[in-house]
Amino acid sequence: MESGAVFAGLHPNSPSHHLLLGPSRSAIKILPPPISTDHKLLSPHSLSLQLQKQTRFASFSNHSNNNVNSLRVASPTSNVASELADIDWDNLGFGLMPTDYMYTMKCSQGETFSKGELIRFGNIELSPSAGVLNYGQGLFEGLKAYRKHDGNILLFRPEENGQRLRLGAERMCMPAPTVDQFVEAVKATVLANERWIPPPGKGSLYIRPLLMGSGAVLGLAPSPEYTFLIYVSPVGNYFKEGLAPINLIVETEIHRATPGGTGGVKTIGNYAAVLQAQSAAKAKGYSDVLYLDSINKKYLEEVSSCNVFVVKGNVISTPAIKGTILPGITRKSILDVALSQGFQVEERHVAVEELLDADEVFCTGTAVVVSPVGSITYLGKRVSYGSEGVGRVSQQLYSALTSLQMGLTEDKMGWIVELK
């Protein structure tokens, strides 16, 4: 897989080149600035451009490839390769902060994705009859980029997100980028928005890939056209509590997913379905909702946007993936980390009654990473966990995973992708 290319004049305030991207591994040409004002910039695939000697660059390389190519982001108005955006890094919440560029790529039904480009971040135009608006034909992903103290930029298992997107697209009758295309598009978008990556320890750059039916369709049918889009935003903690215990309520009537449905893929409709229960819970002071299976109404499924784990002694249990639960990448990683640290791990049916006798409960997800649960309320009864805040196991797994994601410990798993 080719690992990069070169951006010329990729400065948000004074774009100076228009780069055209062809199919994967094709050449990139530098054209004169376009007359239009959208200043479209090409998303690169492995090429080096000779720029003016006085310009300094931020370089990128994929060290897992012996045939290393480089990507450089140059600003024609500054000698500093990557100036941090002027925002309050100490008070980042989890919300959208518009950045400089987003990535877009289109294809028609029955065809494959082959061309993509970086464009200015902003609104997109859709037909009122777009498949995603009328029939919910859409998927999304979530992953993060971290900045190290030495200037390196790290991604955590992006190929897993690319593979999950492809599995979801198959379920939703959509074409999808290849895993290589997905990863290269993520890299390009992150590097184009490098100044928005928080300083080490201040947060991360949240990356949101979208795949949607953008073509017009009136009758119920797959969309005739699809758009793959990536935008990014710097973020802090997902829950306002940060790494502090959250309080959940078990929902017994509203269900997130049903067998045979789409609960096991990251389609947009899964999340709209939880808003009613989640809003009601937050109005009562809870952090979020824990859902039960829709058949027996007794087995744990997941929280609105993250997986759940139950700790008893040295055993860590989590609901098995069976089509109604999203196969979280953080979930998968925590299972491996827990095994490597000597815990016994079980993926199985976990009855709600097991919460009453648990030592700890925690949630995992891209946004929350690991979030300890301080209490769970079920049928009016509140069960609290621990008296000293974050539980030992939650803290241990959180520290192990975040240290790996941020490049503070050696990556023995082969999960980290370095961009610089």
Contact (CB, 8 A) for 180 and 105: no
Residue, of 391 and 1, whose pLDDT is higher: 391
* 23-37 residue pLDDT tens: 333 222 222 333 232
* 9-68 residue pLDDT tens: 343 433 333 333 333 332 222 223 332 323 334 433 332 222 222 222 233 333 333 322
* 101-145 residue pLDDT tens: 999 999 999 999 998 999 999 999 999 999 999 999 999 999 999
Could you give the percent of the chain with pLDDT greater than 90? 74
Close Cβ partners of 197 (under 8 Å, ≥ 6 residues apart) = 145, 146, 147, 153, 190, 204, 205, 234
The token duo for 298 is 């007794």
* 353-368 residue pLDDT tens: 999 999 999 999 998 8
Burial 301-314 (b: 16+ CB within 10 A, else e): bbbbbbbbbbbeee
Contact (CB, 8 A) for 404 and 369: no
Q: For tokens 């390196």, name the residue.
A: 152
**For residue 243, what pLDDT band results from cuts at 50, 70 and 90?**
confident
Whether domain 18-235 has CATH 3.40.640.10: no
User: What's the mean per-residue pLDDT of the chain?
Assistant: 83
Instruction: Find the Cα–Cα–Cα–Cα dihedral 163, 418, 43, 72, rounded to 10°.
Output: -170
Nearest to residue 281, comparing CAs of 297, 316, 305? 305
Close Cβ partners of 341 (under 8 Å, ≥ 6 residues apart) = 396, 397, 400
What SS3 class is residue 303?
strand
Q: Which of 97-106, 230-239, 248-257 has the lowest mean pLDDT?
A: 230-239
Contact (CB, 8 A) for 71 and 6: yes
Where do the CATH 3.20.10.10 domains begin and end in the chain? 246-405
The one catalytic residue in 40, 53, 202, 266 is 266
Instruction: Find the Cα–Cα–Cα–Cα dihedral 145, 149, 150, 152, rounded to 10°.
Output: 0
Contact (CB, 8 A) for 334 and 272: no
* Extended beta strands in 214-306, E state: 225-235, 246-251, 288-292, 300-303
Average pLDDT over residues 178-188: 98
Instruction: State residue 276 phi and psi, 5-degree precision.
Output: -65, -50
The DSSP secondary-structure symbol of 158 reads H
240 assigned to active site: no
Instruction: Find the Cα–Cα–Cα–Cα dihedral 390, 394, 400, 401, rounded to 10°.
Output: -110
What are the Cα distances from residue 89, in Å, to 84, 201, 203, 262, 367?
10, 10, 8, 37, 17
DSSP 277-292: HHHHHHHTT-SEEEEE
Contact (CB, 8 A) for 302 and 326: yes
Average pLDDT over residues 342-358: 97
Where do the CATH 3.30.470.10 domains begin and end in the chain? 18-235
Average pLDDT over residues 226-250: 88
Close Cβ partners of 75 (under 8 Å, ≥ 6 residues apart) = 9, 10, 11, 55, 81, 83
Q: Which CATH superfamily groups domain 246-405?
A: D-amino Acid Aminotransferase, subunit A, domain 2 (3.20.10.10)
What span, in angstroms and rounded, lies between the C-alpha atoms of 42 and 278?
Answer: 40
Average pLDDT over residues 161-167: 98
